[in-house]
Amino acid sequence: MLKNFLLRMVINAFALAVVVTVLPQHIHIVGSDRQNEMLILLGIALIFGLVNAIVKPILTFLTCPFILFTLGLFLLVINGLMFMLTAELSRLVLGGAGLVVESFPWAMAGALIMSIIGVVSEKIFGLDDRVKVKTVREVRYVYRDRGDFGEPPDFPPPYPDDAPYTPPGDKPKRR
């Protein structure tokens, strides 16, 4: 559990570093030098993970009609909002150092890049939380014992209708 959390945080930090590298004029990190840049990236990744774990489900639930009406495209707007919120919180929490996003469309672009990198990385490292359900079919026979306390009756009880029926001829008949 802790290993998965730390790995997700490193993946988020890597994705954030890619976003900052791909869009340096519009999304950048302030207050960092080469020595503490990795620590700031990990701090922003931690904030991003907490925002996505706490705020995003609530916002997704509250905007469910918009998500359904736009066939899921409103989730891009929510991801952009989470990216902007991460940028603001990172500057507050990290004491001036943090993420700076120029405008909301660039926040949506950064969130889209981070989402793509996150999905691919989670598939590579096997971090997807999908629960696999195996359906097992079980047949139970319920019968009443009529008071015979000796040997138990045959289980399952022999019913003449349970025997497979193949009529004489070419094709089996339906019942």
Q: How far apart are CA 62 and CA 56, in angstroms?
A: 10
Q: Check residue 169 and give its pLDDT.
A: 63
DSSP annotation string for 87-143: HHHHHHHTTT-EEEES-HHHHHHHHHHHHHHHHHHHHHHT---PPP-----------
The whole-model pTM stands at 0.69
Q: Check residue 105 and give its pLDDT.
A: 94
Q: Check residue 34 and give its pLDDT.
A: 75
Q: How far apart are CA 130 and CA 123, in angstroms?
A: 11
Domain boundaries, the chain: 2-125
Query: Of residues 44 and 136, which shows the higher confidence score?
Result: 44
Taking only the tens place, the pLDDT of each residue in 93-134 is 988 888 999 999 999 999 999 999 988 988 888 776 666 677
* For residue 156, cis peptide bond before it (omega within 30 degrees of 0): yes
Of the pLDDT bands very low, low, confident and very high (cuts 50, 70, 90), residue 72 is very high
Query: Of residues 138 and 65, which shows the higher confidence score?
Result: 65
pLDDT > 60? residue 36: yes
